Amino acid sequence: MGKSRESGRIEQEIEKLREQLNEHNYHYYVLDDPVISDAEYDRLFEKLKILESQRPDLVTPDSPTQRVGAPPLKEFAEVKHEIPMLSLENAFVPDDITAFDQRIHDRLETSSPIEYCCEPKLDGLAMSIRYENGLLVQAATRGDGATGEDVTENIKTIKMVPLRLRGDNIPRILEVRGEVFMSKSGFDKLNSLAQKKGEKIFANPRNAAAGSVRQLDSQITASRPLEIYCYGVGLVEGYKLPDKHSDILKRLSHWGLRVSSLVEVVKGADGCLTYYQHMSHKREKLPYEIDGVVYKVNDIALQEKLGFVSRAPRWAIAHKFPAEEVNTIIEAVEFQVGRTGALTPVARLKPVRVHGVTVSNATLHNMDEIQRKDIHVGDTVIVRRAGDVIPEVAGVVRKLRPGSAKKIILPTHCPVCRSAVEHVEGEAVARCTGGLFCAAQRKETIKHFASRRAMDIEGLGDKLVEQLVDTRLIESVADIYDLTQTQLENLERMGEKSAQKLLEQIEKSKSTTYARFLYALGIREVGEATAKALANHFRTLQALQSATEEDLQSVPDIGPVVAAHIAHFFQERHNRDIISKLINAGVHWPLIKESNHLPLSGKTFVITGTLSNMSRDEAKERLEKLGAKVAGSVSAKTSYVVVGVDPGSKYDKARELGIPILDDKQFHAFLNKF
């Protein structure tokens, strides 16, 4: 009886300490209004650690003691954002903001002043943090906007990120978007310590923040002075958000998330520009770096009406602060090949100090920019750099051009692999077409090829790919299938069992689908949907390889630009050779049936909410195998809407339009008919 009473007392004390520490974290980091001293906080924290060590069965994931503790990772897992993390259009002068405001009025067909929510634009790393029933379950970097890296253990080390949300009416699922950054003083202390230890110092706070978040060992991240401000939401289920963006931010603060105190709501372009001037004067006194401000249409209904263009919302814009500019001379120009094959002209400059940094290289962006600015080797040019932005050549001082100045010419062949360079008419960027062969693209090509949605080679992660390429065991994706047990065992962190397991996964990957194989090749702008469309239209690889650009444009949703990318890819002999090696290595797939013979051909489905019997990806795959198209939004053309637990606005729209709705059980029964 005595032991039982003592056990209950410890349990109550642990719970009480957690509540106290979480409340103090909220006051310190969110409200900026601490109610106890640091020493008192440390005392409570140590007491909780002692009690939890006595009762490890009572340790919970949201305990303040669990911010660090996971063993180092071998690599970061991939996370697909259910709602993409968008980039913003940039503005640099007041006229850009006036034009932005006018576009909003024109699209909404209104003359009434628009209300905007204004906030500082932090110079950090964008992050998406997912809470389920109030508990932090995942954190991911922005990545390319559609897919990021799982950095959950690292984000949990940031004390101003609550492990469990506080307050009431907490959504079943909440993805909060924010910016991880490092303060000026934190950055200075970190570099000072690194200098004393003889370690490499960081160039700027943004690099320091990004490098700290991407540590495989969360203990290292925990030692870095990282902070966060939240600026919006992604996926939200089980809760109706307020109608105004500014009110959503207040709700996030209510739940214990840190939101900038500098957020303001203004009216019209004049209000935005007044806020810009205010923040411009305040900038130097802020404890962290900002490189501009962001304006967002405050009304959520208007945001939805305005929609998106490409990967940027029409309802928001970033107003950048002016960059520092200096003059120097272009001594030479080289073309660098990026991981996607893009050729970027880089100016080699006479070294010059810009924004506190010595600059000897600057991007020239592309040939269109070179021609527009009339840049020659030997020119005196204006070099601009703002914050962490890569230095660029802003213009030419033509009156100082020497007689020996030379025009800059785009190479016809890749400077790395000698494959043909593709420069599609109407596109600014020129690219190497040797995607499966080019050494500059090799690592990224192999990582993509092995990824889960491509060939799905479990265990062949980013770090291992880099090792295999660096040790020259792999020079193309075809070499994956020639790897031996002995070669793998000799690699760092690879024993006999790990090597055998990886070889089993490589062998398993040989049996795939035609669409996955096409997606795995990494053809520019050929995503999963386009790969499926190509597979269904050209049912054999031979038919696709011999297709003309005109043939390719007969496939739904493939226009002249994408058709050109596909045609150029298959015209490159190196790519065809590697594809042949893959087929000879045993990569195969079942014959594609004609899509118009499939039972759900011509039907469009939309899935909303959480399904109990399968994931959304599994449901999508099953529907597509039956010939259906799975869309992301409901329209009059939608055939069925599949509804799981906690559906969103798609369910309401389906009811409004009178579209047939299948609940979880009905959907399961529907699929079992085929």
pLDDT tens for each residue of 498-516: 999 999 999 999 999 999 9
Q: How far lies 151's CA from each of 180, 217, 487, in Å?
A: 12, 10, 30
pLDDT(438) > 70 = yes
Region 348-374: mean pLDDT is 85
Catalogue all structural domains in the chain, each as residue range(s) with its CATH number: 2-67 (1.10.287.610), 90-320 (3.30.470.30), 324-407 (2.40.50.140), 442-584 (1.10.150.20), 595-671 (3.40.50.10190)
DSSP 8-class letter at 420? B
- Of 157, 160, 152, 118, which Cα lies nearest the Cα of 136? 152
- Of 342, 339, 340, which Cα lies nearest the Cα of 366? 342
Residue 224 neighbours by CB under 8 Å, 6+ apart: 182, 186, 190, 208, 212
Query: For residues 369 and 430, what is the distance between their CA atoms, to the nearest angstrom?
Result: 12
- Whether 121 sits among the annotated catalytic residues: the reply is yes
DSSP string, 92-140: -SHHHHHHHHHHHHHHHT--SPPEEEEEEEESSEEEEEEEETTEEEEEE
In this structure, the chain runs to a length of: 674
pLDDT for 168 equals: 87
Using pLDDT thresholds of 50, 70 and 90, give the confidence band for residue 68: low
pLDDT for 70 equals: 62
Q: Which of 3-17, 40-54, 57-71, 659-673 is predicted most confidently?
A: 659-673
Region 363-389: mean pLDDT is 85
Q: What is the pLDDT of residues 288-326, one digit of tens each?
A: 989 899 999 999 999 999 988 767 899 999 998 887 778
pLDDT for 252 equals: 96
What are φ and ψ of residue 226, in 5° steps?
Answer: -85, 150
Q: What is the pLDDT of residues 511-542, one digit of tens each?
A: 999 999 999 999 988 988 889 889 888 889 99
The more confidently predicted of residues 29 and 342 is 342
Region 435-445: mean pLDDT is 85
Q: What is the pLDDT of residues 96-136, one digit of tens each?
A: 999 999 999 999 999 999 999 999 999 889 999 999 999 99
Query: For residues 190 and 192, what is the distance between their CA atoms, to the nearest angstrom?
Result: 5
Tokens of 384: 């601009």
Residue with tokens 């050929």: 526
The DSSP bridge partners found for residue 164 are 135
Query: For residues 649 and 234, what is the distance between their CA atoms, to the nearest angstrom?
Result: 14
The DSSP bridge partners found for residue 347 are 333, 362
Region 568-590: mean pLDDT is 93
pLDDT for 388 equals: 47
pLDDT(595) > 60 = no
Percent of the chain scoring above 70 in pLDDT: 95
pLDDT(268) > 60 = yes
Q: Which of 49, 121, 200, 406 is catalytic?
A: 121
Q: What is the pLDDT of residues 177-219, one digit of tens each?
A: 999 999 989 988 988 888 777 777 776 788 888 888 988 888 8
N-terminal to C-terminal alpha carbon distance within the chain: 61
Q: At what angle do helices 573-584 and 560-571 cross, to 10 degrees?
A: 70
Q: How far lies 597's CA from each of 515, 535, 592, in Å?
A: 18, 15, 11
Query: For residues 669 and 132, what is the distance between their CA atoms, to the nearest angstrom?
Result: 29
